[in-house]
Amino acid sequence: MAGHDVSTMKISSKVWKNGEFIDWDDAKIHVMSHVVNYGSSVFEGIRCYETSKGSAVFRLTEHMQRLVNSAKIYRMNSAFSRDQFCDAAVELIRMSGLEHCYLRPLIVRGLDDEKPSFGVNPFPAPIDSYIATWQWGKYLGEEALENGIDVCVSSWTRITTNSMPAMAKAGANYMNSQLIKMEAILGGFSEGIALDDRGFVSEGSGENIFLVNGGKLVTPPLGASVLPGITRDSVIQIAKELGIEIIETNIQRAALYLADEVFFTGTAAEITPIRAVDRITVGAGKRGPVTKLLQEEFFKIIDATRPAPFGAEWLTFVNASDEKKVAVA
């Protein structure tokens, strides 16, 4: 179980690097690169779905904006704009021939071959930008979306916002996530939930979290060391359109045990129900009605069979002709 990972089916033979497409096998960095030694990277995880109207990337612009924002926080001035990253991602998918895939854009601090620098100071290190793509299955398992998963509250506290900014999706932040994930797996759980430094619920190792109480959605505020998740925002927008009340507030650990429903959200996890926390059954011990409703509406949107809430455009079609189909649907 400790060695389990999401099944990988196909990998694109090309990787986008600094404005050019290179072979997968050539997408390498030096062992003494700043990112290898000091974790200086920011990244994104983005899904491209095989919809009823063609391949489409979910909330591409928002993801790439968050990538650019993360780089700004860490003073990593990439030579490429948000829109250039978006265009490169779509072109990479076209070249890959993959109808559905997972995208991984990265901005990293590398190594200057002519003037190498090996210290903590990041400024001498060159900035490199990459995008890779591959097919990836369901992050927490195919059956998890319906049956739910068993999770634990981690003994590891989430990083504090004034030590490593949670608003940045930075590679180094995920060392904290790895501790949470490993502890959960070795304890026989699918995932762990971290508390913030005050003892309030924060998020999973790579997911945001929601509770359902009396038909209302409750989720931790961004101030609880929470990454501003794209799927988190999507669920909030869908819930608003459905007339479901959303409350962003500090959540005590014990509230997880007493909630009617609990679920994770994330690009990889999508909307995954939680059936038990610390081996205490949540609600009826299965996916609840509010979680099911939100899943159904979410999957309709990513299948292009219903529009996004409030006239938003959440799908970027890989082929322009497919986008026109949706415009007239």
Question: How do residues 42-70 score in pLDDT, each as one tens digit?
Answer: 999 999 999 999 999 999 999 999 999 99
Q: Is the dihedral of CA 49, 139, 314, 212 positive or negative?
A: positive
Is the residue at 266 inside a domain? yes
pLDDT of residue 1: 44
Confidence (pLDDT) at 6: 56
Residues 150, 132 share a domain: no
Same structural domain, 62 and 156:
no
8-state DSSP, 171: G
Catalytic residue among 169, 216, 300, 325: 169
319 within domain boundaries = no
My answer on whether 108 and 148 are in the same domain is no
Least confident of 193-202, 231-240, 316-325: 316-325
| CATH number of the domain where residue 158 is located | 3.20.10.10
Same domain as 129, residue 28: yes
Q: Residue 245 belongs to what domain range?
A: 144-309
Residue 68 lies in a domain: yes
Residue 273 lies in a domain: yes
Q: What percent of the chain has pLDDT above 70?
A: 93
Same domain, 63 and 181: no
Question: For residues 328 and 278, which has the higher predicted lDDT (pLDDT)?
Answer: 278
Q: Is residue 186 part of a domain?
A: yes
Same domain as 178, residue 107: no
Note whether 162 and 180 are same-domain residues: yes
Average pLDDT, integer, range 217-241: 97
Establish if 324 belongs to a structural domain.
Answer: no
Mean of pLDDT values over 94-98: 96
CA distance 64 to 272: 24
Question: How many domains are there within the chain?
Answer: 2
Query: Above 50 in pLDDT, residue 328?
Result: no
Whether 291 is covered by a domain: the verdict is yes
pLDDT beyond 90 at 74: yes
Domain end (from 108, 136, 164) = 136
| Residue 169 is among the residues annotated as catalytic for this protein | yes
For residue 17, name the pLDDT band (cuts at 50, 70, 90). very high
- pLDDT exceeds 90 at position 324: no
What's the pLDDT at 244? 98
The mean of the pLDDT values for the chain is 93
Q: Average pLDDT for residues 229-248, to the nearest whole number?
A: 98
Write the DSSP string, 239-266: HHHHT--EEE---BHHHHHH-SEEEEEE
More confident residue, 323 or 64: 64
Report the predicted TM-score, pTM, of the whole model to 2 decimal places: 0.92
Residue 326: pLDDT band with limits 50, 70, 90: very low
Find the CATH number of the domain harbouring 67.
3.30.470.10
Residues 130 and 158 in one domain: no
Same domain, residue pair 106 and 244:
no
Q: How far apart are CA 269 and CA 228, in angstroms?
A: 15
- Residues 94, 209 share a domain: no
Q: Let me know whether 38 and 74 are in one domain.
A: yes
* Span 188-217, average pLDDT: 97
Among residues 101, 136, 171, which one ends one of the domains?
Answer: 136
Residue-wise DSSP of 185-201:
HHTT-SEEEEE-TTSBE
Token match 């591959």: residue? 134
Domain termination site, one of 136, 155, 172: 136
Same domain as 167, residue 205: yes
R_g of the chain, CA atoms, integer Å: 20
pLDDT tens digits for 239-278?
A: 999 999 999 999 999 999 999 999 999 999 999 999 999 9
Give the model's pLDDT for residue 327.
39
Residue 102 lies in a domain: yes
Using pLDDT thresholds of 50, 70 and 90, give the confidence band for residue 9.
confident
